[in-house]
Amino acid sequence: MRRVMLVLVMVMFIGCYRTWWEYSSGIDEVCWGSDGKVLFLYSKEWREYNEDPFSGEPYPVEIEDSIFLYEVNADGSGMRCVCFIGLNEYYSGMSSAGDWVVYSRREGINGEDEICVVRRDGSERYNTGVRGRNPDFSPDASKIVYEKPNSGIWVMDRDGSNNHYIVSDPDAKYPAWSPDGWRIAYVMNYPNVEYLAVVDTFGDTLKKFYIDIDRPDWGPIDSNAISGSNGHNGEIVHYDTGEIDTLFSLSLGWGQGLKWAPCGSLFIGYRTIYRRDGTKVFTISAGGE
């Protein structure tokens, strides 16, 4: 009897193997680089399988998400993987300026959001040690504005030092730094937006626009305008006049935002690059390359 059990155990052990299979993939966050390239975080889900010794069928024993920083030209050409970012993380916001990229990450669904920074070439990556989400770089990449959950809008240096609030209202969300460097836009009480506010870098209110807009983004410096979505279409808010230019040709849902390219003629809506007339340039494939 002992010998039969030993043989059975050996057969079960020999019939068991492990292999990693790429299971699925997806695009987590997308933004413009200062050079007009599109940057995005790309996740690949891998599953480790064992083989059932009796049926021969594989079954998953471990799941792992690997996240990479990618870049691609605005016409869809030249896509490449820049560097590995992390494992089993979730992301909430991404921005780039000059040679740098900033993003917010958390480990697991119940983790806390942390702000991290990486060079565009992947040569330097670090955690600032600051809790927050939806970060946006100043034009010179020396400072970061971000949303601290239930604590308003905060600003810090790129290394996480000199961290301080400029808007204390806990309902202030989605800050965006203007290309001239001295204004910051944000929305109040997202997703039930009350208004779009613009403050200076000290937090003093400059203007309020009582409109429906999500995830604001400043256009090129000569536009002096802010883009976003109203839940149906793209829209542009002109800072000086308050005039709203509804882009009926750009059909966008709520929460997708509308990120304006440095060249002024292209936009990112979710994962698709559009011209202003609504024609699609290309959609970033979930297959990466």
Count of Cβ atoms closer than 10 Å to residue 65 Cβ: 18
CA atoms within 13 A on the CB side of 241: 7
Would you report the helix, strand and coil content of the chain in percent, each value rounded to 5?
5, 55, 40
Per-residue confidence of the chain (289 residues) as pLDDT tens digits?
444 333 333 333 334 444 555 666 688 899 999 999 999 999 887 777 777 777 777 776 667 788 899 999 999 999 999 999 988 788 889 999 999 999 999 876 667 899 999 999 999 999 999 999 999 999 999 999 999 989 999 999 999 999 999 999 999 999 999 999 999 999 999 989 999 999 999 999 999 999 999 999 999 999 999 999 999 999 999 999 999 999 999 999 998 899 999 999 999 998 999 999 999 999 998 555 4
Would you say 87 and 67 are in contact if contact means Cβ atoms under 8 Å apart? yes
Take residue 66 and report the two structure tokens written for it.
């690997």
pTM for this prediction: 0.87
Strand partners, 217: 227
Calpha distance 43→113 (Å, rounded): 18
One DSSP character per residue, 145-186 reads EEEETTTEEEEEETTS-S-EEEE--TTEEEEEE-TTSSEEEE
